[in-house]
Amino acid sequence: MENILIIMFTIGILVWIVFLLDAVLGFRNFDSLELEDVLDSGPLLSVIVAARNEEKQIEESILSQLKQTYKNVEWILVNDRSTDATGSIMDRLAREDSRIRVLHIKELPPGWLGKNHALYNGTLQASGEWILFTDADVRYGAEAFAKALHYFEKHQLDHLTAAPNLSANHFWLKSFVAFFLFGFSYFKRPWMANNPKSKIGTGIGAFNLVSKRAYEAFGTHKKLKMRPDDDLQLGIKMKRAGYRQRIVSALRLMEVEWYGSLKEAFVGLEKNTFAGLNYRISMVFFSIFGVFMTNVLPFFTIFAENKTIVLLSLGNIVTSGILYFIVIKKMTVFSPALFLVLPITALLFIYSIIRASFLTFKRGGIVWRGTTYKLSELREKD
């Protein structure tokens, strides 16, 4: 058993070093949108917000958008079959500002996820040269649009995505959010979106800005009909198709409360955890094993009697800790000291993977905002 641990921990250190070098090189081209100049005037921007039962947050989000310094903007608010006051709030905002139009979706046709269908229908109403897909709970600083559009033009992009500040009010939720960003970073390598030679792309639902020309040439949300991770897949598929893409951080220009509690986070991750693992049970087991071996076990084996295992455990902790520090400093405003509870947070993350996968199989699909989608449909290829 000791020999197996020595081999695995040695491999673990080497893997962490590779990840670390990859991140250091990748983050060199990871710009902060806060440092960008502003675009005072330019073509029309169409902002599309799809919302279902978002009465608690949508008004604050839209009002922050209406205060943008970039003025040539239209808003298309899509009410996706809401059963609360979301639709009436949208209608009132439209009466108060002529730049807003509201589209009410009454029925969901077969073969579509609700949000993807709503966003697609919003694009059919868009008149702008640029289209921004954003969520109904994002709060914006006044210069966010102007800086993003200037960056978009300067780099002659087809797609720009921005990482917002994911706010959290409780310690364990903060640690969970930080671990999610840490894991997402070394699993998806989002910085590679900034390498024009790479086919690796990314996308974040809080801010996906595309040129209308590229979006339509790519195939629109029709290419993402049944993807619960449509935001990520939009970026992945556009980059793979050869479109020019970049990701930036916007921690002081955009903010979103990812989830209000750990329980909400577990429920929210039900919809896209299995999708992120390509609906493969082998990937579920691989992820659980990988997270446990790299982010949990070394914190226990550091107290082993075998000195080699102790040193290798320490090596895994130190190298992963350096990577954690780099990622957290770039991707969030949280303290890197959250690394001190990493093994506990990793166990919570493992629980979320098991829970989401089990419920997906038990239900035969996912339940997302009151609508059930069958696993057989979700697994269908584009």
Nearest to 235 by CA among 157, 287, 177: 157
Q: What is the mean pLDDT of the chain?
A: 93
Q: Is the pLDDT of residue 339 over 60?
A: yes
Predicted model pTM: 0.92
Res. 372: pLDDT tops 90 = no
Structure tokens at 309: 């295992």
Rg (alpha carbons) of the chain, rounded to whole number: 21
pLDDT of 382 strictly over 70: no
SS (H, E, C) 88-116: HHHHHHHHHCCCEEEEEECCCCCCCCHHH
State yes or no: pLDDT of 218 exceeds 90: yes
- Buried (b) or exposed (e) across 69-84, using 16+ Cβ within 10 A? ebebbbbbbbbbbbee
Residue 341: pLDDT above 90?
yes
Q: Which of 215, 44, 33 is nearest to 141 (CA)?
A: 33
Tell me the pLDDT band of 380, cut-offs 50, 70 and 90: low
Q: How confident is the model at residue 88 (pLDDT cuts 50, 70, 90)?
A: very high
> Residue 91: what residue type?
D
How large is the average pLDDT for residues 110-131? 96
Residue boundaries of the structural domains of the chain: 2-26+266-377, 29-171+188-259
Portion of the chain with pLDDT greater than 70, in percent: 99
How far is 330 from 62, CA to CA, in rounded Å? 27
Distance (Å, whole) CA 237 – CA 241: 6
pLDDT of residue 99: 97
CATH class (in words) of the domain with range 29-171+188-259: alpha beta
